[in-house]
Structure 1
Amino acid sequence: MESVKIGVLTSGGDAQGMNAIVRAVVRTALHEGARPFAIREGWKGAVEGGDLIQEMSWSDVSDILHRGGTIIGTARSDRFREREGMREAVKNLVSLGIDRLISIGGDGTLTGTDELRAEWPSLLAELVEMGEIEQDTADRHPLLHIAGVVGSIDNDLVGTDMTVGADSALHRIIDAIDAISSTAESHRRSFVIEVMGRHCGYLALMSAIAGGCDYVFVPERPPADGWETDMCRVLKEGRDAGRRDSIIIVAEGATDRNGVAITSERVKAVLEEGLGESARVTMLGHVQRGGSPSAYDRWMPTLLGYSAALELLQSDGDPVIIGTRRNRLVRLPLMSSVENTRAVKKFTAAGDFEAAVAARGSSYTEMLDVFTTLASPVPTKKNGGPRGRIAIVHVGGLAPGMNVAARAAVRFGIDRGYEMVGIEGGLPGLVHGDLVPLSWSDVEAWSGLGGAQLGTRRTIPSVDEFYDMGRVLEDNRIDGLLIIGGLKGYEAAERMREERQRFSAFRIPIMCVPASIDNNLPASELSIGTDTALNTNVEVLNRIKQSASASRRCFVSETMGRNCGYLALMSGIASGAEQIYLSETGITLNQLAKDTDVMVDAFKNGRSLYLVVRNEYASENYTTDFLARIFEEEGGGLFDVRQAVIGHQQQGGNPSPFDRLLAVRLVNAAMRTLDETMSNGRDDCSYVGMAKGSIECHPLSHLEEHWDPATRLPYNQWWLGLQDVAYIVSNPHHHGPAHVLPILEDV
């Protein structure tokens, strides 16, 4: 029986992460016994055929995860828009036996793909009538089966939370904002930064929040008439409040309420006239599309490509887009998703801006409101007087994004009428009375800082020290406590709740916000700091792989994570590791023997690099050093073995855009709940988390419903089901079955 053949193409604008999709499609198809074909240069390759349609082998997609753009090329084809061109594409495909196609691109690409699917039978009939193909060829391929994956840095597809390339583009923008901020502050200068987004303001809005910017223009919500005066007022208030720089973000498709474009040059002219100062313009342009993809744009596109290939092989249903929603993969009806996306443009053209914003989803609406508060140079609400005092403390290991969370808490708190206080040096600082008032301007520069300005400690005070803690809380009139940190913070909150029987000072609302690179906290699928640590790991592993390019070498790399293997598994998927050892699954001697045999065979068959990633708590006895020694011994000189313990680099560096945005969203929900609790005179203890994209607060008394005290892990670790994907797309010797991902949902 002839093998099923799958075509894959990338069309339209390129986006970081497209190569990860292509790699996953090719390798998943090969694993399932199908024959994958790359259609080079997008629809141009389909129309012209010949060498532009090439069968792909396992090695054809090796070493491409870290590369930007698309190795199979992309181009727009005018001929494909004509029926004659579509007919040529059908002839070239069916002549090779290809009737299943994975299309990667934006809404134009997906629309063209669906049109080809709809016209496929009639185009076949025309080709038979013209004598271009035989009738039996047409009979063997009566239908075109398609699956789409959206590659677009604009993140503009309605129905999916994140399109491939958007996270990487945010990284480029935030890098630029962080760099520009330092020179803008040095010269007390205003900068206008133009980012991509013709019809979608995602990049503009999210980069403005993550970058701590002052003003933003997005296509979906044009500013009210008189925006020029309002913008100059906001920036002047900022300067009066002590700000040395001003940064305005403009989406390329931004307009005023009359549909007139708000360009970066127009904004610059308004600033110079209204403030009497010279402004500078930076247009990032195609820099946003370039460069190496982020960690997210490696592991998520891998899952998307894997699922799209299985979709075509295991289903003959309606055309779908494989997208993401609430940290899950989803099947979306192809054309209705495209139509919903295009409806946003119609809403804005008709002046129905609230409908345009609503179509982007509730989180987009939330973040528009959040930006107003965070970017304001002064509190946005006028309150009659202090409503109480809330203290902020970090507890546990350092996590990138702690400063972002603290900054957001201070501003959300002050905006609601509370006095905000920082506890320096973790809970020991509360014992010793190391408290400092935090004003609106004190936290101005914290939006992009790594580390923790307030300091953090893992130490939980002893029983005897709880008396001192209580006295400090009473003496400083603390009415609520926000703990930003890891498991130690949750345990400390639980201890304080228990100590209420002895000390009334602990009868105050306490809220825990998850911040830990280990990603092991209850009711939150992702913790603040985890994404930054993952990006650090992927960068280090890329360099390790490059260092082995001139030799035959196995690397055994160790990641942090304690009992949680999230960092190890996702680092392995994002870097193309052949073997991954997790704490959750452990290591056995029998497994090691099999893995070593596979490794040795790989090197005998020409492999020059083999990457092994080990979670630090994968085994107490089978350490990283022990594994390296076994592989070295069994290799018999066929290859070298090196160790790389990544270590505390994972806790350092400035937080990634995702961690900045996650911190803002979690703290927004935490402070809203804390405010409600205090306003109602209650003393609830709670923790906030994000599960399936929804952010909720849970009573601390329900902790063991979400978290196992024996393993010190959440009961629901959504990512464990991804282990099969890691091996199928990275190891040609893996013979286990490919399963539809357990996290895949129908929408």
Structure 2
Amino acid sequence: MTNDPSLESPIRIGVLTSGGDAQGMNAAVRAVVRTAISRGAEVYAIFEGYQGMIDGGEGIRRFEWDDVAGILGRGGTVIGTFRSKEFRTREGRLKAARNLLERGIDRLVVIGGDGSLTGLDTFRQEWPGLLAELVASGQVDAGLVAAHERLIIAGLVGSIDNDLVGVDSTIGADTALHRILEAIDAISSTAASHQRSFVLEVMGRHCGYLALAAAIAGGCDYVLIPELPPTEGWEDEMCATLRAGRARGRRDSIVVLAEGATDQQGNRISSDYVRGVIEERLGEDTRVTILGHVQRGGTPSAYDRWASTWLGYEAVDEVLTASPDAEAKVIGILGNGVVRIPLMRAVKDTQRVPELIRSGDYSAAMQARGPSFTELVTTFSELSHPASFTAPAEGKRIAIVHAGGLAPGMNNAARAAVRLGVSRGYHMLGVMNGFAGLRKGNVTELGWDDVEGWTGTGGAELGLRRAVPAMEDLYKISRAMEDHAIDGLMVIGGWNAYQAAYLMHTERDRYPAFQIPIVAVPASIDNNLPGTELSIGSDTALNVNVSAIDMVKMSGAATTRCFVVETMGRYCGFLALMSGLAGGAERIYLNEEGVALGDLAADVEWLRGSFEKGRRLFLAVRNEKASESYTTEFIGQLLEGASNGDYDVRTSIIGHIQQGGEPTPSDRLLATRMVSRALGQLDEELRAGSDNSWYVGLQQAQIVTSPMGHMLDHVSTRRRRPKQQWWMQLRPVVRAVAEEPGA
């Protein structure tokens, strides 16, 4: 049969959620429904997981465009989930096949864990035999079977544990980490008030990602994860770590424990046992907090909205275009791209990790989790068990300077740089107030304890200035660097920070003080820097925008209203595009595409007709530099002028709150990973006695460095953005979920 969905008899796709719920499932369901409709297919929602497929009737319902309106930002799954025992039997699968066949459904998108996907692949393989049995028993007509000989499937992994081997993040994991960090930040304040210890138990039966990532992002003292069971006598090591923190003046101690943590004999380590050890050996008042299902609940993060939407879009593409005989795929996010992995290989690789742990092959278990997971383990070990709390007298001197606009996560980057630098034997220097402060010689040495408490705070304790040093400033800057004997420089910031670093790199011949290794670390909410897919601060700003959009939309829930929301980003459309995708915008205006009057006129006519047909809410997101002429206020007035009183229009400029607030878990982890790599690059240069300069970036899930001398080859200096912007590939996704066909 053909895969052309434009024929009279449209292709019919079923979508269901199964197993444990995860934030972002609704975003994926919405994307599947709307993308399928935009491609000319019909979509059927299957309620209560596989059980709805077995029960039939109202358990399988056709969904139209508006049936998924308003669910993007809701937690859980609106179509329900269920761990169906009946589907594990052939009799149950036979009922499911009959119910699908009667509705002409021969394509399925399933959002669930590895158990759900295993059942899905079994169903696919059995499909021809099940249909033959239904014909033989007279339950269905042979002609109907001939039109649906193969079942085409696609799997999306919804799991807060983030346990699928081969991808970076599963649906729900980022939001769960948000919930955990909210708890850690709250616990830290009460623990510090009483000089108390806390044991925090988080989910993760076979995967320690949540515990490990939370321990790093939350600045915790000790972590226990399934993949790396502690050696005999670990209790002594844990208590020594907590005791050392207290001796240095730390008022709170937090141990993070994954629910599946065991010792090397396979004995479960309970949170109560950890509490008892601390109280008995350290005499400290200790409390246990088990977060439980709160980690599954609540509003999904910006990432779990836009990434899940992208995955839903790709899942529809997979079931519409895949050959009926093609191997079934699970679709996931790797880096900032989509990957398709053979479904059963992904499931087997994922299920193999607990087997490796039980057999004691912890090295293989770690390797299976991937290089990013191993990197996090190494980083936490260095932060919690440093080689030294003080640098040797002969250690090299590395200065840290912020520049450009403020980005949430700068404090986390500075803290990690100081502590990792000290552990690696460097004297770490903090430059106050950017390059202006460096010109004045405002430089001070920072020790391990000087950055205590910087983990989750917004702002920049070192201060910063936007200005790029002028040519006449370079002499004073060079003298200050000589006076403070700076051997290496880490520049953390945005576009102006990169310009300053590049200027110093090009002026090395004139100023001997600049003949040192320089590494630039990207920190900018605009996410407009070369060599990196994400910059520190961009995820926090995106979450601020999405929260603002949620509230703006809620304010118009009782009326008919059109909103035009303006984001920051200058000439880079990252914030606008991703905020619009995660916030459910119908229109997004970007500088990269420009804004034409003809397009605005078409939008006005479409909007007027849409409200006449019953629309109650419309959202447009505009990048602040989308057009010099067609401002946010102009677009708002244009839309209101054509409303004829059918709707009113409000404009909202989110403004500088995008630069404020506490950094998200993603930005805290990114900051730590980036400065660790920056220090590694500086170390390589210092050991080689060279003065090469670099900039750090996230590329395909790995932290890499690029030569400073090539920076201008990869950016548009006039537009202040990279020449290649990965997020622009999401433009078709936005159109698929925002523009109803024939509306």
User: Which bin holds the TM-score, normalised by the shorter protein?
Assistant: over 0.9
- Determine helix, strand or coil for the equivalent of 2:105: coil
Cα distance in 2 for residues equivalent to 1:497 and 1:303 = 40
Cα offset, 1:734, TM superposition: 7.2
Q: Does 1:560 align with 2:568?
A: yes
For 2:337, the equivalent position in structure 1 comes to 328
For 1:42, the equivalent position in structure 2 comes to 49
User: CA, structure 1 residues 174+571, in 2 after alignment: closer, same or farther (shift >3 Å)?
Assistant: same
Q: Deviations over 1:109-153 (max 9, x none)?
A: 000011111111111122222222122222221111110000000
Cα offset, 1:383, TM superposition: 6.7
TM alignment of 1:195-210, pairs within 5 A: 195-210=202-217
Cα offset, 1:685, TM superposition: 1.5
* Amino acid paired to 2:299: S
Q: Does 1:65 align with 2:81?
A: no
Cα offset, 1:611, TM superposition: 0.2
Cα distance in 2 for residues equivalent to 1:481 and 1:52 = 62
Q: Deviations over 1:295-317 (max 9, x none)?
A: 00000000100110111111222
2:431 to 423, 429, 445: 423
Q: Does 1:656 align with 2:664?
A: yes
TM-score for the superposition, normalised by structure 2: 0.97
Q: Deviations over 1:187-234 (max 9, x none)?
A: 111000000000000000001000000000000000011001110011
- Determine helix, strand or coil for the equivalent of 1:99: strand
For 2:374, the equivalent position in structure 1 comes to 365
Q: Does 1:85 align with 2:103?
A: no
Q: Deviations over 1:14-57 (max 9, x none)?
A: 00000011000001111111110000000110111110100001
- Determine helix, strand or coil for the equivalent of 2:129: helix
* Amino acid paired to 1:458: R
Q: Deviations over 1:653-695 (max 9, x none)?
A: 0000000111111111110000110111111111111122222
TM alignment of 1:272-421, pairs within 5 A: 272-316=279-323, 317-376=326-385, 379-380=387-388, 385-421=393-429
Cα offset, 1:637, TM superposition: 1.6
User: CA, structure 1 residues 305+75, in 2 after alignment: closer, same or farther (shift >3 Å)?
Assistant: same
For 1:695, the equivalent position in structure 2 comes to 703
Tell me, yes or no, if the aligned pair for 1:194 and 1:282 is still in contact at 8 Å: yes
* Amino acid paired to 2:533: E
Q: Does 1:269 align with 2:279?
A: no
Cα distance in 1 for residues equivalent to 2:32 and 2:388 = 50
Tell me, yes or no, if the aligned pair for 2:38 and 2:741 is still in contact at 8 Å: no
Cα distance in 1 for residues equivalent to 2:456 and 2:390 = 28
For 1:95, the equivalent position in structure 2 comes to 102
Tell me, yes or no, if the aligned pair for 2:389 and 2:422 is still in contact at 8 Å: no
Q: Does 1:450 align with 2:451?
A: no
For 1:230, the equivalent position in structure 2 comes to 237
For 2:133, the equivalent position in structure 1 comes to 126
Cα distance in 2 for residues equivalent to 1:383 and 1:171 = 34
Tell me, yes or no, if the aligned pair for 1:426 and 1:457 is still in contact at 8 Å: yes
Tell me, yes or no, if the aligned pair for 1:373 and 1:380 is still in contact at 8 Å: no
Q: Deviations over 1:433-460 (max 9, x none)?
A: 1112100111121111111010111012
For 1:577, the equivalent position in structure 2 comes to 585
Cα distance in 2 for residues equivalent to 1:691 and 1:158 = 19
User: CA, structure 1 residues 573+87, in 2 after alignment: closer, same or farther (shift >3 Å)?
Assistant: same
Cα distance in 1 for residues equivalent to 2:377 and 2:360 = 18
Cα offset, 1:250, TM superposition: 0.3
For 2:266, the equivalent position in structure 1 comes to 259
- Determine helix, strand or coil for the equivalent of 1:441: helix
Cα distance in 1 for residues equivalent to 2:115 and 2:217 = 30
Q: Does 1:211 align with 2:222?
A: no
* Amino acid paired to 2:308: P
* Amino acid paired to 1:321: V
Cα distance in 2 for residues equivalent to 1:357 and 1:388 = 33
Stretches of structure 2 that go unaligned for 5 or more consecutive residues are 1-7
Q: Deviations over 1:609-631 (max 9, x none)?
A: 11010000000111001111111
TM-score for the superposition, normalised by structure 1: 0.97
Cα distance in 2 for residues equivalent to 1:677 and 1:33 = 57
Cα offset, 1:415, TM superposition: 1.2
Cα distance in 2 for residues equivalent to 1:27 and 1:254 = 41
Cα distance in 1 for residues equivalent to 2:335 and 2:12 = 32
Cα distance in 2 for residues equivalent to 1:278 and 1:586 = 60
Q: Does 1:620 align with 2:628?
A: yes
Range moving further from structure 2, 534-543 or 588-597: 588-597
For 2:61, the equivalent position in structure 1 comes to 54
For 1:481, the equivalent position in structure 2 comes to 489
* Amino acid paired to 2:375: E
Cα distance in 2 for residues equivalent to 1:274 and 1:171 = 32
Cα distance in 2 for residues equivalent to 1:381 and 1:436 = 17
TM alignment of 1:408-557, pairs within 5 A: 408-557=416-565
Cα offset, 1:236, TM superposition: 0.3
Name the % identity: 55
Cα offset, 1:505, TM superposition: 1.5
Cα distance in 2 for residues equivalent to 1:138 and 1:659 = 52
- Determine helix, strand or coil for the equivalent of 2:566: strand
- Determine helix, strand or coil for the equivalent of 1:141: coil
Range moving further from structure 2, 132-141 or 403-412: 132-141
Tell me, yes or no, if the aligned pair for 1:5 and 1:36 is still in contact at 8 Å: yes
TM alignment of 1:589-608, pairs within 5 A: 589-608=597-616
Cα offset, 1:710, TM superposition: 2.7
* Amino acid paired to 1:700: M
1:75 to 79, 82, 85: 82
Cα distance in 2 for residues equivalent to 1:29 and 1:167 = 26
For 2:5, the equivalent position in structure 1 comes to none
Tell me, yes or no, if the aligned pair for 2:412 and 2:455 is still in contact at 8 Å: yes
Cα offset, 1:384, TM superposition: 5.3
Cα offset, 1:379, TM superposition: 4.0
For 1:740, the equivalent position in structure 2 comes to none
Q: Does 1:638 align with 2:618?
A: no
Cα distance in 2 for residues equivalent to 1:276 and 1:633 = 71
Q: Deviations over 1:364-411 (max 9, x none)?
A: 1111010011223x5448975432111101000000000111011111
2:683 to 675, 691, 694: 675
Range moving further from structure 2, 447-456 or 125-134: 125-134
For 2:4, the equivalent position in structure 1 comes to none
Tell me, yes or no, if the aligned pair for 1:598 and 1:733 is still in contact at 8 Å: no
Cα distance in 1 for residues equivalent to 2:628 and 2:732 = 24
User: CA, structure 1 residues 296+734, in 2 after alignment: closer, same or farther (shift >3 Å)?
Assistant: farther
* Amino acid paired to 1:360: R
For 1:239, the equivalent position in structure 2 comes to 246
Tell me, yes or no, if the aligned pair for 2:37 and 2:741 is still in contact at 8 Å: no
Cα distance in 2 for residues equivalent to 1:459 and 1:295 = 31
Q: Deviations over 1:468-492 (max 9, x none)?
A: 2112111111111110001111111
- TM-align CA RMSD: 1.2
Tell me, yes or no, if the aligned pair for 1:385 and 1:417 is still in contact at 8 Å: no
* Amino acid paired to 2:53: A
